[in-house]
Amino acid sequence: MTVVGEAGDGAEAVEIAAREDVDIAILDIAMPRMTGLECVKALREAGLGAGMKVMMVTTESDNVFIESALKYGADEFLMKPFTAESLREKLAMMGLAA
């Protein structure tokens, strides 16, 4: 069964991951209360979702920013705007889609 959920911000995403089994978190960099970077860092530091994949969605193309996100535990990036096909390709690269 596939279950899809939504969090209103990064802090809520961390709360959800603490109580539910999450396969993938798709995080926008620009979120209220807790940015995507802060969220992925909090998820990884708390050991939440050990097998959870994290994809960052952003318009930010600065290499320093991307390196920071990867250092904090992001698995993949998807640049906005994106197509359904590019999302499927990224999911396949992460082992989450055929």
Cross-strand pairs, 28: 57
Q: What is the C-alpha separation between 1 and 7, in angstroms, rounded?
A: 20
Complete domains list, the chain, with CATH: 20-93 (3.40.50.2300)
Beta strands in 1-98 (DSSP E): 24-28, 53-58, 76-79
pTM of the model: 0.86
DSSP, collapsed to helix, strand or coil, labels residue 47 as coil
Q: What pLDDT is stored for residue 86 in this prediction?
A: 94
Tell how far CA 58 is from the center of its chain: 10
Quick: pLDDT tens for 29-41.
888 899 999 999 9
Measured in residues, the chain has a length of 98
User: Residue 98: how many CA atoms within 13 Å on its side-chain side?
Assistant: 0
Predicted confidence (pLDDT) at residue 1 exceeds the cutoff of 80: no
Element of type H or E holding 84: helix 84-93
Q: What pLDDT is stored for residue 3 in this prediction?
A: 62
